[in-house]
Chains A and B, each alone.
Chain A
Amino acid sequence: MAKFILVRLLGTIPVLLGVSILVFSMVRLVPGDPIDMMFSNLAPPSPEQKKAIRHDMGLDRPVYLQYASFVSNALRGDLGKSYRTKRPVSEEIRNRLPNTIKLTLASLAVSTLIGVVAGVVAATFKNTWIDFVSMVVAIIGVSIPGFWLGLMIMMLFSVKLGWFPVAGAETWKHLVLPTITLGVLASAILARMTRSAMLDVLNQDYVRTARAKGLREWRVIMGHAFRNALVPIITILGLQIGGLLSGAFIIESVFAYPGIGMLAVQALATRDFPLIQGIVLLVAVIYVLVNLAVDMLYSVFDPRVRNS
């Protein structure tokens, strides 16, 4: 097991290196001089000023050296300074990350609850109207743009009913609408995947055996079928966290919820390269870690993985 974890951990290194190279070069390929972006057109910097700033920021050094120091700094938690606010990127991210973590976990809970229950129920009542309705709803859910759904939810629950605030992150009430939006969006795919995983398992011989033993149907479903369907469901859940993070980019902006998603969107609009780099890197690390966690969970739920 320890070896398994170690191998997997080592495996993340090239992934993260690749991501860092990609991010690092992408922000350098877009047209435009970042220094120009720091100044007003009506008060352009003099060439000497530009040179001095370029030097201060290390932009006059060869690109591979810039990359090397980017990586070595990043390893020490130093992601540079935001062009716009001149504050450390790590501080900007730290200010916002708790909000996004709250939102992601809450919507993960919502989507798991809705998605797994709907999937299990649909599979159990396969080819009945219950199955049909839940899958149609799921298809709609997969197809709805998040931006639109967010606005509709906002119109209904904030503007019409006045139950929840439109924007911000001050109280738990501010968390409700973005959570529902993200949760509902994510639950659709989860419902479909759970259903097919369950159907797959429900056709297995051991389920027939369980039924033949005279077990009550819900015990067959939960004890025998669902447990075995968990492996694919967990895989989806892991991917879901990534999906929720990227969904947060849009949904946070819609609800003016100050998490890293909204930070990223505004960083892009203002070409705040160090901030963009930092956020992308962070999201990549989260992806990788979550996937690692998922792989380890397999071995908990599936002895075949553990023993292999």
Chain B
Amino acid sequence: MSDTNNTQIEPGTQVKRRTLLRFGVVGAGMALVAPLLAACGGSSSTSPTATTAPGGTGATPGAGATVAPAETPAAGGSESSPTTGAGTGSTETVDRTKVGGQLILGRSGDSDTLDPQHTTAAISHQVFSQIYDTLIGRNMNLEFEPIVSESYEAAADGLSYTFKIRKDLKFHDGTPLNAEAVKFTFDRVTDPKTAAPSASWVDAIASTDAVDEVTVRMNLNKVFSPLLGNISIAYFGILSPAGVEKHGDDFGKNPVGSGPFVFKEWVPGERITLTRNEDYVNVRSYNDNKGAPYLEQLVFRNMPEEQTQVAAMETGEINLLATPAQQIARFDGKSDYTLLKPDQSTSISFLEFSLVETDGKLSYMAPFDDLKVRQAVAYAIDADTIIERILQGTAVRNYGVMPTGNWGYTPDLEKFGYHYDPKKANDLLDEAGWTKSGDVRQKDGKKLEFVFWTWNATTQERIAQVIQGQLGEVGISAKLETMEVATLLARLKENSSAMDLMGWGWSESDLLFMMTDGDGQFGLYQKYNPDYAKAVVAGRSTSDMDERAAAYLEAMKIVLADCAAVSLWSAVTVWTVRSASIKGVHLGAQGAVTYLDAYQEL
């Protein structure tokens, strides 16, 4: 499985369907998760998103291995990582001539809170991932690399992790970042009184002990392989206990962390301004800059409308934008702009079918109760054309349900996947007894038609219309209905549609468990197919990474065999940089944008 991590990067930050959708919809009109991704995508220079380490590296949970920054080998990965080995000892090497200027990012929405334990919104993560550092992050090969920690070790039984904290770390308020602060952070997020919406992602943590000033031990209540990946996301960034104490309920408006940028000001609805943490020592392997950021300010500006964002780019009011698909042509190839296109993503878009329960048994709703009809849909859809014409390259083809940028994704799946083949689709429908008569096939006097739902963002609707047209080519009549996204998510439970176009995003491979552990459509799939349930449960509860990878491959093959979801693509965030005014912005781990090498020529 070592070839599964030949991925370079991935944009992404986590995208959870609902929240993301929630905030993404504002203004942006991308496919599925894409707006959301866009909203959150390259947020972070930290490698917030997380997936698990590639198979066989020392970073595997439970493997008993210790990983220190200097020795993270690019195990098995085809890309050797630009690991520099810079550790805690590196002195500040900031090139003084580059210091100054500001990077202004336009986005469609405002954060809800900058207390990472009180939100799961990507649009907030985008900001606070710059304020808080996590214990560990990821390098370009998706392997873990220490950030706040210096090294960590997993117990042989996989039931605890011991982290060594880097010495002399300070929060922005000058208080020390020590083992106590780490304990405070994890105690707070797991405390029911905090009511952290992210708590379930770390509910495997039974307790956290500060062993000494620089040693923290996390005790687990079960072997839970997604944990390291989860805590590498900034929802679990280390908080200043003094800051939390001082600001109380207002901590979300006065965040204090230890990250590269310091919170300065939040004008509600308009902008959030961060300033450089001049004492910062950067240990991320993918940055050349090992010291404080060059940028004097990092500004996040709220601009709900796509057209406004584009105009603001053109006037230079903003110099970084997650580019809406329909606007890419405005910037592509123009000398003042540079486009950053990750080829990996932590999101996945697919068509899902409604499962209905009758007499305690789940089955697909007609006409999809016949596997051949589901397969015909899979063969009838030309995803590549949609990616090229409508998504304008803001997505990469994916034949399985694991996002292309997650650990455990394998391009091998292409061999097993469904490729566009209208003839095969027609044959399958013939075999299934749906005969051609006019435009729509019929069987026993019934037409091959059904209700097809998705939400009403512009790009999303266009994609759905093309899918509708492609299905029409083989004699399937999809009655497309679109509605506002929140309504759609709420109404999916009614099973009023037989098929819908859905998107999910999450950077941990446990996504395969999470999105099938719900209450509708693909969310019921673990209940529908116990073999799948077994595979994804194995994936989250083994500490052997090879086993884990095998479990996910198995799970994805099961999905293909059932044709339980028609995988289409992983949407990526394409960033436009106004390179006439700002240099050094590039993609970091998992395709997220990193700001630490960015500077303005003043």
A31 to B487, CA, bound (A): 6
Chain-B contact segment, one of A5-13, A113-121, A199-207, A262-270: A262-270
Q: How does the 8 Å CB contact mask read for B417-446 relative to A, with 1 for contact and 0 for none?
A: 000000000000000000000000000000
Q: Is the interface of A mostly helix, strand, loop or mixed?
A: loop
* B517 nearest CB neighbor, chain A only: A44
A31-74, CB under 8 A of B: which get 1 and which 0?
A: 11100111111111100010000000000000000000000000
B308 lies within 8 A of A154 (CB): yes
* Contacting pair B25 A269 (CB below 8 A): yes
Question: Which range contains the number of A residues in contact with the other chain?
Answer: 35 or more
Task: Judge whether B307 and A151 touch: CB under 8 Å.
Answer: yes
* Interface window among A104-112, A208-216, A252-260, A290-298: A252-260
The answer to whether residues A256 and B113 also contact, given A43-B16, A167-B317 and a CB cut-off of 8 A, is: no
A37 B22 Cβ-Cβ under 8 A = yes
- Cα separation A144 to B269 with both chains bound (whole Å): 27
Q: Contact check, A96 vs B269: say whether CB atoms are below 8 A apart.
A: yes
Instruction: List B contacts of A165 (CB < 8 A).
Output: 315, 317
- The smallest beta-carbon distance between A273 and chain B, in angstroms, is 11
A interface footprint on B498-539 (CB within 8 Å = 1, 0 otherwise)? 000000101000010011001000000000000000000000
In the bound complex, how far is the Cα of B305 from the Cα of A255, in angstroms?
8
Asked if A84 and B490 sit within 8 Å, CB to CB, the answer is no
B81 close to A (CB within 8 Å) = no
* Interface: B198 (CB within 8 A): yes
User: Do A167 and B22 contact each other (CB < 8 Å), given the known contacts A96-B268, A258-B267?
Assistant: no
Provide the bound-state CA to CA distance between A265 and B489, in Å.
19
Chain A contacts for B450, CB-based, 8 A: none
Q: CA of A86 to CA of B194 in the docked complex: distance in angstroms?
A: 13
Nearest B-chain residue to A85, judged by Cβ: B112
- The yes or no answer to B302 lying at the interface (CB within 8 A) is yes
Q: Which residue of A lies closest to B250 (CB)?
A: A87
Interface size class on chain B is 35 or more
In the bound complex, what is the Cα–Cα distance between A42 and B18 (angstroms)?
8
Tell me which of B308, B506, B515 contacts A167 (CB under 8 A).
B308
Contact A159 B314 (CB under 8 A): yes
Considering only residues 137-166 of chain A, those with a C-beta below 8 Å from chain B are 151, 154-155, 158-159, 162, 165-166
Q: Is the CB of B301 within 8 A of A256?
A: yes
Which residue of the partner chain, among B252, B308, B486, B506, contacts A256 with CB atoms under 8 Å? B308
Q: Is A195 an interface residue (CB 8 A)?
A: no
Residues in chain B near residue A42, CB distance under 8 A: 14, 16-17, 120, 201, 504, 506, 511, 514-515
A39 pairs with B197, CB closer than 8 A = yes
A266 engages B113 (CB within 8 Å): no
| Residues A41 and B19 in contact, CB atoms below 8 Å apart | yes
A32 near B315 with CB under 8 A, answer no
Residues of A232-260 at the interface with B, using a CB-CB cut-off of 8 Å, are 253-256, 258
Q: Ordered nearest first, which 5 A-B pairs have the shortest CB separation?
A: A32-B490, A258-B269, A40-B16, A42-B16, A41-B18
Residues of B within 8 A of A (CB): 14, 16-20, 22-23, 25-27, 106, 109-110, 112-113, 118, 120-121, 195, 197-201, 252, 267-271, 301-305, 307-308, 311-312, 314-315, 317, 486-487, 489-491, 504, 506, 511, 514-515, 518
- A selection of 24 A-B contacts at a CB cut-off of 8 Å is A36-B489, A38-B197, A40-B16, A40-B19, A40-B197, A42-B14, A43-B197, A45-B197, A85-B113, A86-B118, A92-B268, A95-B269, A154-B311, A159-B315, A166-B312, A166-B315, A167-B301, A258-B267, A258-B268, A258-B269, A258-B270, A258-B302, A263-B269, A270-B486
Given A31-B491, A92-B268, list of 15 further CB < 8 A pairs?
A31-B490, A36-B490, A37-B22, A40-B197, A42-B14, A42-B17, A43-B120, A85-B113, A95-B269, A96-B269, A168-B317, A256-B270, A263-B269, A266-B304, A271-B22
Q: What residues make up the interface of A, taking CB atoms closer than 8 Å to B? A: 30-33, 36-45, 49, 84-86, 92, 95-96, 151, 154-155, 158-159, 162, 165-170, 253-256, 258, 262-263, 265-266, 269-271
